[in-house]
């Protein structure tokens, strides 16, 4: 056999081998998710648990064989709630070929938004970031995915309206940390106060909220029918303690999502029985998704943190973020096939219709126009041991929320 013939045979057999091996290579394809957090500054109260939930769900998907030949890798890094560090991490992750980004920090996410839009990469912003990013036409690559703070505030007011037989004439105190996060829902609450004819008074306490006594003296004297709490971390604990010290009935208090089992244990489990909160994900372990994580991740010793955290409210928020994202991945790969890119993931997320999580989350529908997923939330109440739902999932006053969102998004469009 001549040399040239030998070479051709060798080359041909290599090509055949490569062709045969390609499904194997495809099965080993890895997609990277950047699941960055503030582990060291402001969001420390939530970062560990949410990150653990995200990573455990990624491990679960991998343990179950991945999706359409893809395995997934969670890149976990600390940005310290600093936009500049966030941008540096973003640039590095871009070079590493990340397809999904979530910074879980309002200032960092907001700093990344223009870059994500320009680079056409998917930026998940559940429970953080710009509330107007629900407007898909203006923010095509940004996905809040769950009820924003505006929708949560609206749902809280709708709950009061339903349970009290109307809002007219009620006195509502809105007590908030004096930060962009604390002030964010005020335009919505204010609009609804005029629309529904209830009296609204806002009370701000300085960040980080470790001393609020003067504010709560004032709240007590205002004699509100209901108090809406808009804080996070230890500030929430101080708020509840001060409210109780001032004789305010916990059953009249309703909080943003940032109030969990851990917070209630720190306040004292029986200190504020009856307090309510907005909820966007079911807490606890009594759910097939969480049971799958316990069975396939923790029994295999592959958990990302302490097992006792599994099922906490914050942990489940992290899981929920990944549940929606992986649904988008699945739809994208089914429709467009590999390779998985951020552009395909965007389209996949926008194909999600009535995502059925068997009650883990409200039904999620994301469209090209609506990146909020429908804006559903419910209200749950602390019974001394656990959070018990006292309302159904519902999207409240979305006309007001979307009017505000479109107005704000239009301003963003003009200035970008």
Partner 1 sequence: MDFLFLLELFINGLNTGLMYSLVALGITMIYKASGVPNLAQGAMVMIAGYLLWATIALLGLPLWIAIPFVVVLMFLFGLAIERWLLRRMVGQPVLMIVMLTLGLEILLRGVGPGVFDAAPKRLDLGLGLAPLVVADVFINRAYLIGAISAGILILLAAAFFRTRLGTKLRAVSDDHVASWAVGISVERAIGISWGIAGVAAVGAGTLWGSVQGVDWTLSALLFPAIAVVILGGIDSLLGVFVGGIIVGVLGSVIPGYLDPIVGGGTRDVVTSVLIVLTILLRPYGIFGREDIERV
Q: Which stretch binds partner 1 (CB under 8 A): 56-64, 129-137, 243-251, 404-412?
A: 243-251
Angle between helices 106-119 and 83-95 (to 10 degrees): 40
**Are 405 and 135 spatial neighbours (Cβ–Cβ below 8 Å)?**
yes
Q: Which residues pair with 350 in a beta bridge?
A: none
Of 235, 230, 239, 172, nearest to 207 by C-alpha is 235
Report in angstroms how near the CB of residue 70 gets to partner 1 at its nearest. 32
Report in angstroms how near the CB of residue 48 gets to partner 1 at its nearest. 6
Quick one: which of 69, 187, 233, 338 contacts partner 1 (CB under 8 A)?
233
Using rule CB under 8 A, residue 302 touches partner 1: no
Q: How far apart (Å, rounded) are the C-alpha atoms in residues 211 and 264?
A: 18
Name which of residues 42 to 101 contact partner 1 (CB under 8 A).
Answer: 44-45, 47-49
Q: Which stretch binds partner 1 (CB under 8 A): 86-94, 108-116, 217-225, 395-403?
A: 217-225
Quick one: which of 268, 338, 363, 389 contacts partner 1 (CB under 8 A)?
268
Using rule CB under 8 A, residue 265 touches partner 1: yes
Q: Is 201 exposed, middle or buried (0-12, 13-18, 19+ CB in 10 A)?
A: middle
Quick one: which of 234, 341, 365, 367 contacts partner 1 (CB under 8 A)?
234
Looking at the Cβ atoms of 186 and 390, the one nearer to partner 1 is: 186
**Are 239 and 271 spatial neighbours (Cβ–Cβ below 8 Å)?**
no
Number of H helices and E strands in the chain, helices first, is 14, 13
Of 344, 262, 383, 349, nearest to 311 by C-alpha is 262
Report in angstroms how near the CB of residue 408 gets to partner 1 at its nearest. 19
Quick one: which of 67, 192, 244, 324 contacts partner 1 (CB under 8 A)?
244
Q: Which stretch binds partner 1 (CB under 8 A): 228-236, 293-301, 332-340, 393-401?
A: 228-236
Name which of residues 160 to 179 contact partner 1 (CB under 8 A).
Answer: 178
Using rule CB under 8 A, residue 220 touches partner 1: yes
- Provide the 3-class DSSP secondary structure of residue 177: strand
Looking at the Cβ atoms of 39 and 412, the one nearer to partner 1 is: 39
Which tokens in the block code for residue 347? 């389209």
- Residue 373: HSE in the Cβ half-sphere, 13 Å Cα cutoff: 33
Looking at the Cβ atoms of 3 and 265, the one nearer to partner 1 is: 265
Quick one: which of 115, 162, 262, 365 contacts partner 1 (CB under 8 A)?
262
Report in angstroms how near the CB of residue 206 gets to partner 1 at its nearest. 5
Residues binding partner 1: number (CB under 8 A): 43
H-run or E-run covering 200: strand 199-205
Cα distances (Å, whole numbers) of residue 69 to 55, 122, 169, 231: 19, 21, 59, 43
Quick one: which of 195, 197, 217, 369 contacts partner 1 (CB under 8 A)?
217
Q: What pairing do the DSSP bridges indicate for beta strands 98-102 and 29-35?
A: parallel
Across 212-325, the runs of DSSP E, i.e. the strands, are 226-230, 253-255, 276-279
Using rule CB under 8 A, residue 238 touches partner 1: yes
- Provide the 3-class DSSP secondary structure of residue 400: helix
Q: How far apart (Å, rounded) are the C-alpha atoms in residues 68 and 55?
A: 19
Report in angstroms how near the CB of residue 271 gets to partner 1 at its nearest. 6
Cis peptide before 185 (omega within 30 of 0): no
Q: Which stretch binds partner 1 (CB under 8 A): 122-130, 234-242, 317-325, 341-349?
A: 234-242
Q: How far apart (Å, rounded) are the C-alpha atoms in residues 51 and 43?
A: 11
Report in angstroms how near the CB of residue 318 gets to partner 1 at its nearest. 14
In the shown chain, the binding pattern of residues 176 to 215 toward partner 1, with x for contact by CB under 8 A and - for none, equals --x----------------------xxxxxx-xxxx-xxx
Q: How far apart (Å, rounded) are the C-alpha atoms in residues 232 and 229?
A: 9
Report in angstroms how near the CB of residue 243 gets to partner 1 at its nearest. 9
Looking at the Cβ atoms of 267 and 377, the one nearer to partner 1 is: 267
Report in angstroms how near the CB of residue 208 gets to partner 1 at its nearest. 4
Quick one: which of 237, 329, 364, 401 contacts partner 1 (CB under 8 A)?
237
Sheet containing 142-143: which strands, arranged edge to edge?
70-75, 29-35, 98-102, 122-124, 142-143
Looking at the Cβ atoms of 81 and 398, the one nearer to partner 1 is: 81
Question: Where along the sequence are the contacts to partner 1 (CB under 8 A)?
Answer: 39-40, 44-45, 47-49, 178, 201-206, 208-211, 213-215, 217-218, 220-221, 233-235, 237-238, 241-242, 244-247, 262-263, 265-268, 271
């Amino acid at each position: 056999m001549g040399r040239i013939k030998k070479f051709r045979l060798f080359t041909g057999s290599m090509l055949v081998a490569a062709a045969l091996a390609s499904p194997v290579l495809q099965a080993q394809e890895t997609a990277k998710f950047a699941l960055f957090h503030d582990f060291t500054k402001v969001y420390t109260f939530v970062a560990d648990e949410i990150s653990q939930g995200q990573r455990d769900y990624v491990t679960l998907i991998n343990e179950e064989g991945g999706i359409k030949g893809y395995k997934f890798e969670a890149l976990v890094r600390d940005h310290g709630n600093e936009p500049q560090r966030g941008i540096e991490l973003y640039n590095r992750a871009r070079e590493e070929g990340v397809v999904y980004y979530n910074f879980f920090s309002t200032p960092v996410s907001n700093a990344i938004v223009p870059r994500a839009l320009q680079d056409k990469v998917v930026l998940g912003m559940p429970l953080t970031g710009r509330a107007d990013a629900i407007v898909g036409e203006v923010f095509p690559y940004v996905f809040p995915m769950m009820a924003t703070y505006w929708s949560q505030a609206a749902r809280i007011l709708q709950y009061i309206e339903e349970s009290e037989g109307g809002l007219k004439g009620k006195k509502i105190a809105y007590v908030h940390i004096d930060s962009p996060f604390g002030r964010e829902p005020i335009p919505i609450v204010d609009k609804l106060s005029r629309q529904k004819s209830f009296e609204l008074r806002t009370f701000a306490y300085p960040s980080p909220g470790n001393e609020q006594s003067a504010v709560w003296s004032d709240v007590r004297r205002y004699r509100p029918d209901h108090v809406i709490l808009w804080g996070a971390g230890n500030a929430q604990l101080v708020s509840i303690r001060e409210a109780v010290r001032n004789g305010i009935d916990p059953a009249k208090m309703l909080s943003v999502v940032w109030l969990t089992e851990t917070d209630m244990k720190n306040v004292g489990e029986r200190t504020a029985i009856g307090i309510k909160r907005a909820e966007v994900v079911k807490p606890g372990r009594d759910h097939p998704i969480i049971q799958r994580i316990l069975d396939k991740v923790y029994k295999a010793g592959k958990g990302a943190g302490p097992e006792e955290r599994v099922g906490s409210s914050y942990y489940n928020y992290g899981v929920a973020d990944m549940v929606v994202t992986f649904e988008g991945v699945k739809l994208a790969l089914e429709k467009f096939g590999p390779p998985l890119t951020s552009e395909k993931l965007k389209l996949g997320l926008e194909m999600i219709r009535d995502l059925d999580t068997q009650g883990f989350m409200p039904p999620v529908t994301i469209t090209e126009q609506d990146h909020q997923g429908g804006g559903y939330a419910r209200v749950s109440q602390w019974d001394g041991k656990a959070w018990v739902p006292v309302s159904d999932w519902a999207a409240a006053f979305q006309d007001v929320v979307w009017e505000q969102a479109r107005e704000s998004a239009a301003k963003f469009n003009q200035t970008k």
